[in-house]
Chains A and B, each alone.
Chain A
Amino acid sequence: MLLRHAPDLSEREVTPRALYLQRRHLLAGFGGLMLAGAGAAGAAVRSPFSTDEAPTSLKDITSYNNFYEFGTDKSDPARNAGRLTVKPWKVKIDGMVGKPGDYDLDDILKAVTIEERIYRMRCVEGWSMVIPWNGFPLASLLKRVEPQSGAKFVAFETLVRPSEMPGQGGFFKILDWPYVEGLRLDEAMHPLTLMATGLYGESLPNQNGAPLRLVVPWKYGFKGIKSVVRISLTDKEPRTSWNIQAPQEYGFYSNVNPAVDHPRWSQATERRIGDSGGLFAKRRPTLPFNGYADQVAGLYTGMDLRKFY
Chain B
Amino acid sequence: MAIANLRIQARFPTWPVYLAGLLPALWYLYQAIYGDLGADPLKVLEHAMGEWALRFLILGLAITPLRREFGIGLLKYRRAVGLTAFLYVVLHLAVYVWLDHGLDWRAIWADIVKRPYITIGMAGFLLLLPLAATSFNAAIRWLGGRTWNRLHKLVYLAVLAGAVHYVMLVKSWPPEPLVYLAIVLALLGWRVWRRA
CB closest chain-B residue, reference A273: B39
Q: A113: CB under 8 A from chain B? A: no
Question: In this complex, what residue of B is CB-closest to A72?
Answer: B174
- Asked if B138 is at the interface of the complex by the 8 Å CB criterion, the answer is no
Q: Choose one: A59, A64, A68, A171; the contact of B172 (CB below 8 Å).
A: A68
> Can you name the residue of chain B whose Cβ is closest to the Cβ of A57?
B39
Chain B interface: which size bin?
20 to 34
Interface pair A280/B99, CB less than 8 Å apart: yes
Is A266 a contact of B107 with CB atoms below 8 Å? Answer: yes
The yes or no answer to A63 lying at the interface (CB within 8 A) is yes
Contact A127 B40 (CB under 8 A): yes
> Is B151 an interface position by the 8 A CB rule?
no
- Bound together, the chains give a CA A173 to CA B173 distance in angstroms of 7
Main secondary structure of the interface of A (DSSP, over half): loop
When the two chains form their complex, are residues B99 and A264 in contact, meaning their CB atoms are under 8 A apart? no
A258 proximal to B (CB < 8 A): no
Q: Contact flags (1/0) for B51-70 with A, using CB distance below 8 Å?
A: 00000000000000000000
Q: Contact check, A264 vs B115: say whether CB atoms are below 8 A apart.
A: yes
Query: Does A60 belong to the interface (CB within 8 Å)?
Result: yes
- Interface contact B41-A278, CB-CB below 8 Å: yes
Binary interface encoding of chain A residues 129-160 relative to chain B, with 1 for a CB under 8 A from any of its CBs, else 0: 00000000000000000000000000000000
Known: A63-B39, A74-B40, A265-B115. A174 touches B32 (CB 8 A): no
The 8 closest A-B pairs by CB, nearest first: A64-B39, A60-B39, A72-B174, A172-B175, A174-B172, A273-B39, A279-B41, A264-B115
Interface, chain A (partner B; CB < 8 A): 59-60, 63-64, 68, 72, 74-75, 125, 127, 171-175, 242, 245-246, 261, 263-266, 268-269, 271, 273-274, 278-280, 282-283
